[in-house]
A and B are shown apart, each in its own frame.
Chain A
Amino acid sequence: MSLTQLMSQAGLWIFPAIALVLFLAVFVAVVARTFTKRSRKEGEEAAQLPLADDAPLAPAPINTSRPARTSR
């Protein structure tokens, strides 16, 4: 009996169904936890990260005062 025949009789179709349910369960758990009170505060802190990340010891990101290179 080939592997294919063997597997055909093993009732594999049930696996996608189980996986689907598992996936949905984990997903619902993640969503549920995301909307707990505690995570709101954390979220607000985390949301600030991109805004706070560019402060160097001395700020000089955009330099307009220096002379541009004139000839190359």
Chain B
Amino acid sequence: MSTAFSADARNERVGSSHEPANSGPLERFSYDDAIVRKFLVAMLVWGIVGMLVGLIIALQLALPYLPEVKGAKPLSFLYETSWLNFGRLRPLHTNAVIFAFAGNAIFAGIYYSTQRLCKARMWSDKLSSLHFWGWQAIIVSAAITLPLGITQGKEYAELEWPIDLAIAVVWLGFFGTNFLMTLVKRRERHMYVALWFYIASLVTVTILHVFNNLSLPYALAQVLSGNTPTKEGFVKSWPVYAGVQDAFMQWWYGHNAVAFFLTTPFLGLMYYFLPKAAERPVYSYRLSIVHFWSLVFMYIWAGPHHLHYTSLPAWASTLGMLFSVMLWMPSWGGMINGLLTLRGAWQKVSQDPVLKFFVIAITFYGMATFEGPMLSIKSVNSLSHYTDWTIAHVHSGALGWNGFLAFGMMYWLLPRLFQTPLWSKKLMAAHFWIGTIGMVMYVIPMYAAGITQGLMWRAFDESGSLQYNDFVQTVNAIVPFYWLRALGGTLYLAGAVFGAVNMFMTWKARPAAYEVPVHSAPALTPFYSDPPRPASRLGEGNLAIGHDADVFVQGWWHRVWERKPIKFTLLTLLAVLLASLFEMIPTFLIKSNVPTIASVKPYTPLELHGRDVYIAEGCYNCHSQMIRPIWAETKRYGEYSKGGESVYDHPFQWGSRRIGPDLAREGGIKSHDWHVRHFENPRQLIAQSIMPSYKHLLESKIDFKDTETRVRAMAMLGVPYGEMVKEGVASAYAQAQAEQIAADLVQQGGYEDMQDKKVIALTAYIQRLGIDISKPDDWDPYEKFRDRATKILAARNGEADKVASSTTKVNSGGAK
């Protein structure tokens, strides 16, 4: 009997309770597959969008090398348009593929498998639907704000505060509640290991998101300083952390986002969908449990490996390295477990592209989790960090592991969700092959590029000077690899498009009405008694504690609480939270971790403006500001960076990639004129530069009315601005410095009337980078334009006198 389903029969009881006390009355229910269909379609649509953006930014790095055709470079608009430039689109690419493609894939898989593993419909259809639409709305708002330069300036956490709030609500409020309540209401007593992975992901991602995004919204700063919030107030914020602490937070977040957004949920999917597709149970369930606990216990400590040789305290980065290396073992345990699940089924693998997708995915999981620990070893890291090696590593994980697992799952689900055979098995096989070739063509050139770059940066000639002194030489060398990478990416994207065609055609062949099978299972009752506590196996004469230990080792406690979702969740939460706190508290509270430097002073108000331009343009996507204490590096860039130098940096801008040179000591090296000319179009000065043009910064204006609030916001976060926060002072100083630079510009090369343009603020900021430590302790950053600022203030006060004959003389002393 198969009943098409009416809404009120979704969770219907059958008969009364004449079953034994251990199980409740038989209940009838059906699964909500409509929500799975939605998430699956969203996954593929956003996946294609995200990959397309990836392809565009890949081309941006190669296109400037094309010869001119009829006096213009082909497709140059791609790197000369403000909202298309690399610094803005790269965050869009990463956010789209992580949170939209992988995110929707996770949700599709979780909604499908959780219902079945729990023998229960999702707790609330309304929450499922709010979750779906809420998440898509977040993605759309990301796609709008990021190209506009609205960003927090922290990798993979770029979205601004109102969106962050929405993410918290949708993730924990809608998805979390719905998921956990489904677990509570489940009809299968044992929680299968996939569910554990989902729980850990849910919990940890919440913590990561909340703590990394703690920030002072601009709107709040405006209110606190007595103004009404403006539009800008809702699209700008500054993290409460600065410098070393912000870096630590960010990479604790960044690394664990990889762990708990791209690894654990996908492992949950693997442990569910692989046995399903192979039609055999996982090779070793116990290994999967060990796999789970190892990841939960170890991953959370590994973040600092992103910050080797930086100003992070040494103990933290060594700890990060140790745990990263330890992670290799359980990860491979998981890989082997996955592959051995297919033992005796390799015949099937050769015929079923779904299993092929899974095999490649698991293999890439193994490769990426071997490479990760390797890259976290300091000596390897000194070569690989800041190069394209990182990009290769990330993409072997993302394209291979996440992408192929998602696609395998998709092809397994399509006939089941649309209740009709897959439109074309051939096209699915074609997707598999073109995707695999694309992946290899992406990853190998990027390894080559990364190693080439790393070796060139550190190469010395016989005379002991840098062999490739000019940074752009090291860019020239890898552009051919950039072309190959773009080609590989195109193939991979083509595969995804095959998938979309297949999905669309399968959908078209769906039945007129979906069949909704009815299932039945006894309810769980609260009267269920867990197995009794086992007796100790030790003989008489042992201490009580010995008996207790033996009982503990028999693991009865684990069996009991692994069935209790809420307790299980709380314990996972505790494990993750404790590890994080223990790791972070010392960094935040021990003074010796970030030694202060007396000559390091806060940025001037104009530089602060410039810094916000730097963040908005996403310069950190191409430029680091962190010179490592490595010979080749101090030789190229100057004195290595100290932790005390970025204590006023909310957010830190150390960066993680050097597509362009490090800028930590850029201040004072070149003239203002050079910088403005370079921003206008880098190829005016360096023919082979692949840096985007920033023409728009020569046109758009600095909003000096903003200056006060920006400075006050920094002061609220603890930056010592002294007198500068008083009404009118900061803007006068900003204006004075801008006029000063504009006057210099006229002298140096002829740019006129620039005193209110954003490029001036940016130049001011760049010229400040890294100069403080070579100054005397009592130097005055305002010296050059203090007189000018005093005059502006006096003039303004004079005017105010005329208008409202009452004045409070503002001290123009400025800040120290």
Q: State the A residues within 8 Å of B (CB).
A: 3-5, 7-8, 12-13, 15-16, 18-20, 23, 26-27, 29-36, 38-40, 42-51, 53-64, 66-69, 72
Contacts and interface: CB of A to CB of B under 8 A. Distances in A.
Contact of B297 (A27, A35, A60): A27
B555 A38 contact: yes
B117 interface: yes
Nearest to B293: A30
A54 B758 CA distance: 61
B224 interface: no
Contact of A8 (B293, B518, B552, B589): B589
Which of the listed residues B2, B280, B421 has the most CB atoms from chain A within 10 Å of its own CB? B2
Contacts of A68: 420, 508-511
**Chief secondary structure at chain B's binding surface:** helix
Given A19-B582, A33-B558, A38-B554, 16 more contacts: A7-B589, A7-B590, A12-B585, A15-B585, A19-B579, A34-B286, A36-B555, A39-B286, A47-B285, A50-B117, A50-B276, A51-B281, A56-B518, A58-B2, A61-B419, A63-B419
Contacts of B564: none
A62 B414 CA distance: 10
B227 to A, nearest CB: 31
Interface stretch (B136-144, B188-196, B444-452): B188-196
B290 interface: yes
17 contacts: A7-B589, A7-B591, A13-B590, A15-B585, A16-B315, A30-B293, A31-B293, A49-B117, A50-B281, A55-B519, A56-B517, A57-B28, A57-B518, A61-B517, A63-B419, A63-B511, A68-B511
B166 interface: no
B192 A49 contact: yes
A-B pairs, top 10 by smallest CB distance, nearest first, are A33-B555, A56-B517, A43-B285, A19-B582, A7-B589, A47-B281, A58-B2, A53-B116, A47-B285, A8-B591
Interface string B263-281: 0000000011001100111
A15 B590 CA distance: 12
A50 B194 CA distance: 9
Contacts of A59: 517
Interface string B509-527: 1111001011110000000
Interface residue tally on B, bucketed by range: 35 or more
B553 A58 contact: no
Contacts of B188: 49, 53
Nearest to B322: A20
Given A8-B592, A27-B293, A59-B517, A69 B511 contact: yes
A33 B517 CA distance: 39
B553 A33 contact: yes
A34 B181 CA distance: 27
B512 A69 contact: yes
A64 B421 contact: yes
A53 B119 contact: yes
A32 to B, nearest CB: 6
B113 A50 contact: yes
A62 B415 contact: yes
A69 B279 CA distance: 31
A58 B585 CA distance: 57
A16 B276 contact: no
Contacts of B294: 27
B1 interface: yes
A63 B515 contact: yes
B546 interface: no
Interface of B: 1-2, 28, 113, 116-117, 119, 188, 190, 192-194, 271-272, 275-276, 279-282, 284-286, 289-290, 293-294, 297, 301, 315, 319, 415-416, 419-421, 508-512, 515, 517-520, 552-555, 558-559, 575, 578-579, 582-583, 585-586, 589-592
B554 A33 contact: yes
A16 B575 CA distance: 13
A49 B186 CA distance: 13
Contacts of A63: 419-420, 511, 515
Nearest to B113: A50
A48 B583 CA distance: 39
A20 B764 CA distance: 46
A61 B416 contact: yes
Which of the listed residues A20, A27, A34, A69 has the most CB atoms from chain B within 10 Å of its own CB? A34
Contacts of A45: 190
Nearest to A43: B285
Contacts of A62: 415-416, 419-421
Contacts of B192: 46, 49-50
Contacts of A60: 2, 515, 517
B553 A16 contact: no
B87 to A, nearest CB: 35
B591 A5 contact: yes
Which of the listed residues B2, B286, B293 has the most CB atoms from chain A within 10 Å of its own CB? B286
Given A40-B286, A57-B519, A64-B421, A29 B553 contact: yes
B270 to A, nearest CB: 11
B190 A46 contact: yes
A16 B584 CA distance: 9
A21 to B, nearest CB: 11
Contacts of A29: 552-553
A16 B319 contact: yes
A51 to B, nearest CB: 6
Nearest to B292: A30
Contacts of A40: 286
Which of the listed residues B2, B297, B578, B590 has the most CB atoms from chain A within 10 Å of its own CB? B590
Nearest to A5: B591
Contacts of A15: 582, 585-586
Given A8-B591, A56-B518, A69-B512, A50 B415 contact: no
A3 B419 CA distance: 63
A58 B3 CA distance: 8
A47 B590 contact: no
B586 A42 contact: no
Which of the listed residues B194, B281, B518 has the most CB atoms from chain A within 10 Å of its own CB? B281
A12 B116 contact: no
B591 A34 contact: no
A8 B637 CA distance: 33
Nearest to B188: A49
A23 B190 CA distance: 25
A60 to B, nearest CB: 5
Contacts of A56: 2, 517-519
B279 A51 contact: yes
Contact of B276 (A30, A33, A51, A69): A51
A24 B275 CA distance: 31
Nearest to B316: A16
Contacts of B590: 4, 7-8, 12-13
Contacts of B579: 19, 23
B1 A58 contact: yes
Contacts of A57: 1-2, 28, 517-520
A24 to B, nearest CB: 8
Contacts of B280: 51
A58 to B, nearest CB: 4
Contacts of A38: 554-555
Which of the listed residues A18, A19, A26, A45 has the most CB atoms from chain B within 10 Å of its own CB? A19
Contacts of B517: 56-61
Contacts of B272: 50
Which of the listed residues B284, B589, B592 has the most CB atoms from chain A within 10 Å of its own CB? B589
Given A7-B589, A30-B293, A61-B416, A69 B113 contact: no
B172 to A, nearest CB: 25
